[in-house]
Amino acid sequence: MVVVQTGKYGRLGNRLILSAHLLAFAKEYRHWFVDFGFDEYAIFFSSSSNRPFLSWPQFPLGFPFAEKAQTISFTLSRHVTVGGRANRIFGKYEWFEQIYLKSLAEEANLDLESNRELVKRLINSKIVVCDGWWIRSHNLVQKHSSFIIDFFRPNLAIQREVYDRIEKLRQGTDYLVGVHVRREDYRVVAPHLVFEDSTWKKILFRIKEMLHPCTVKFVVCSNESLNWMNTNDLDYVIVKGEPVVDLHILAACDYIVGPPSTFSEWAAFVGRSKLCVLRSEQIGEIDSFIPITSPEGTRL
């Protein structure tokens, strides 16, 4: 059987989380997995760079015109599957199954492991097409977390860049705290989660107090430019690079704080860091930072 993912739901964090849940399901039942919707991010990861699509087992390296092939394969797969179309074409055959959730905003999760009848149908099918953001398999992600983290390692160039930067940042400090300042799109879709500079400074001072007497350096990343000035008594650095580099710099921190976001959630998962999700300007005690054993996805 092959499990096929054909949609593009949001940006990097969303794509990684959905792919991880379907990969865990495929791994558990020893089936192939193909994610056609990962195409523009494929170049950044060891498992998909220089390959025509993200897959497990991995497609052989050195595919000519890999990036063009990724775009073409997504376009073709989407044409066949969009809107449940594949089910209307192939649904009468026992070897085919399509899981179709209508929209990114659909609130109900479909946990593949919670419905044994569905699992039975899926493992008896030859092709399973998955089209929907809230398709999950939490128990299997936890079970296969080490495999998933290794599978989604960034390419060697990114690994080296992150290692070099983290090595310098760790000099002379006990803890690195990653700070994800999410604004930009949240100003429209979730204005209550947009914290201004003065609020962020209060939050960081509170974290510094929690970790006292240990020394703390804050590693700040954002999807818009920041210009923090006059922040006395806070040791911080603002990183601004490719999103995939910032993601893995966050992952290398001991703690991560930020509003609900799949970006910081995935970073905490792959880095085995502790995450504090901010839903207001108030931050709790240090035990509000918790490990992420299976990334859920963001509900605003």
pLDDT at 82 over 90: no
Q: Which two tokens stand for residue 281?
A: 């300007």
pLDDT at 63 over 90: no
pLDDT at 14 over 90: yes
pLDDT tens column, 129-158: 888 888 999 999 999 999 999 999 999 999
* pLDDT at position 277: 96
Contact in structure between 266 and 16 (CB atoms under 8 Å): yes
pLDDT tens column, 158-193: 999 999 999 999 999 999 999 999 988 898 989 999
| 300 band by pLDDT with thresholds 50, 70 and 90 | low
